Chains A and B, each alone.
Chain A
């Protein structure tokens, strides 16, 4: 049985994640939209030619962060539900590092909740990527994770609703 929230080395199977989400709710028949986001490893970053990425995570805290993001989504868009899986380990160009699936009765909320969820992953999930590029490697460091930072949360919501 595919869980709604997961982090681990296995390749992401979006069809299974979507099926798990469809089976999880009481009212899949009321949903009129499914929005899926896949984050992919791309071959360039900040002028560097990327060879591959290595992801690592503090997995138990990452799972709690995903569940928190889902609660935030349900508070903001009560008719939307989501599933979120993230990969760790070495990922090649073109592979998916993160998969988010959102269901809702209407597309507007599904799109917004999906965008919100990926922005929040980037803000608060304890996951790191190390970029191996032509000529070296570097840990990518983005946001200082603080789930209680309301300004960051509001920025994710602003992007989601733009």
Chain B
């Protein structure tokens, strides 16, 4: 099944793309998608403990199971204001 991955700020710079389309097994969690990405882009691995994650523009935890067509976002520590 296919999901859209969104990356922001330095995560986007590391991956060289703000949006990626990825195949994943049915029942995959956000955490599994993240670990696949971190294998693909090893510099991401250092962010494992500090990222926030969202599904379809709502904050979600790493153990959340994703569905076909979901938009999964990985957010480095924020700095608005």
Q: Which residues of A does B touch, CB under 8 Å? A: 39, 55-58, 60-62, 64, 86, 97-98, 118, 121-130, 139-148
Q: Is the CB of A98 within 8 A of B57?
A: no
Q: Is the CB of B80 within 8 A of A121?
A: yes
Residues 32-51 of chain B, each 1 if its beta carbon lies under 8 Å from chain A, else 0: 00000000000000000011
Question: How far in angstroms is the closest Cβ of chain A from B12?
Answer: 8
Q: Is the CB of A128 within 8 A of B81?
A: no
- B3 an interface residue at 8 Å Cβ cutoff? no
Q: Which residues of B does A touch, CB under 8 Å? A: 6, 8-10, 13, 50-52, 54, 57-59, 73, 75-81
- Bound together, the chains give a CA A60 to CA B81 distance in angstroms of 17
Q: What are the 4 A-B residue pairs with the smallest beta carbon separation, nearest first?
A: A127-B80, A128-B9, A140-B79, A60-B57
Chain A CB within 10 Å — which of B54, B76, B78, B80 has the most? Answer: B80
CB-CB under 8 A from A147, the residues of chain B are 59
Question: How far in angstroms is the closest Cβ of chain B from A156?
Answer: 12
Closest to B49 in A: A144
Q: Is the CB of B57 within 8 A of A129?
A: no
Closest to A127 in B: B80
- Bound together, the chains give a CA A128 to CA B6 distance in angstroms of 14
From the candidates B8, B13, B52, name the one contacting A146 in the complex (CB within 8 A).
Answer: B52
Q: Is the CB of A122 within 8 A of B80?
A: yes
Question: How far in angstroms is the closest Cβ of chain B from A90?
Answer: 15
